[in-house]
Amino acid sequence: MKHFEKLIEKHFSSTIKLSPLIDFKIFQVNERYFELPKKNQWIIDGGIELQFPSAVFCLGWSLDYDSFIFKNKKFEEIYTENNFIELNGGNINKLKKMIKNTIVEAKYKWIDYDVILDYTMATKKESRLVELIIKFKSNDIVQFSIVDYHLEENSSPKNFSYDINGELLIALNNNEIIKNNNT
């Protein structure tokens, strides 16, 4: 595990031990997103922001990295355009019940990717968070996975695989099995 991974995991883990989640925000950058109410799942383009009294963490799309990243920053600091909205209401409120709940466990999945460094197309390996699974004191479990998927006409997304350039899958108490096509 690389130095950055250890730092962000350590900071997130120490933050969740100190206090409950005080706000949970979901951001969308396109007009449409998938909402699968029967499965308690959402697939969004944008990110999530987890706010605690002493820190904020975001798993969101970064224009600078041209992929999803996990940082100790607010969403608007990671996604620097102004074409996003915060999703509220409807089935999204199922996720809002996590507010004021204490996190008892966090599991992280990191995958090494070849990322382009500059205009010469030179690459280097970087480890990126592709999944964060959080278990709350209430026994609720939320899965955040950065995925690509297969979509056929008149069907819901299926055949999920990790992809830092994909979309963010959010699953409440119904974890999805994700394939790792990168190894």
**Quick one: tokens of 138?**
């209430």
**What is the tens place of the pLDDT at every residue in 137-146?**
999 999 999 9
Residues 6+ apart with CB under 8 A from 34: 41, 42, 43, 44, 156, 157
**pLDDT category, 1, cuts 50, 70, 90?**
very low
**What is the tens place of the pLDDT at every residue in 81-108?**
999 999 988 888 888 888 999 999 999 9
pTM (2 d.p.): 0.90
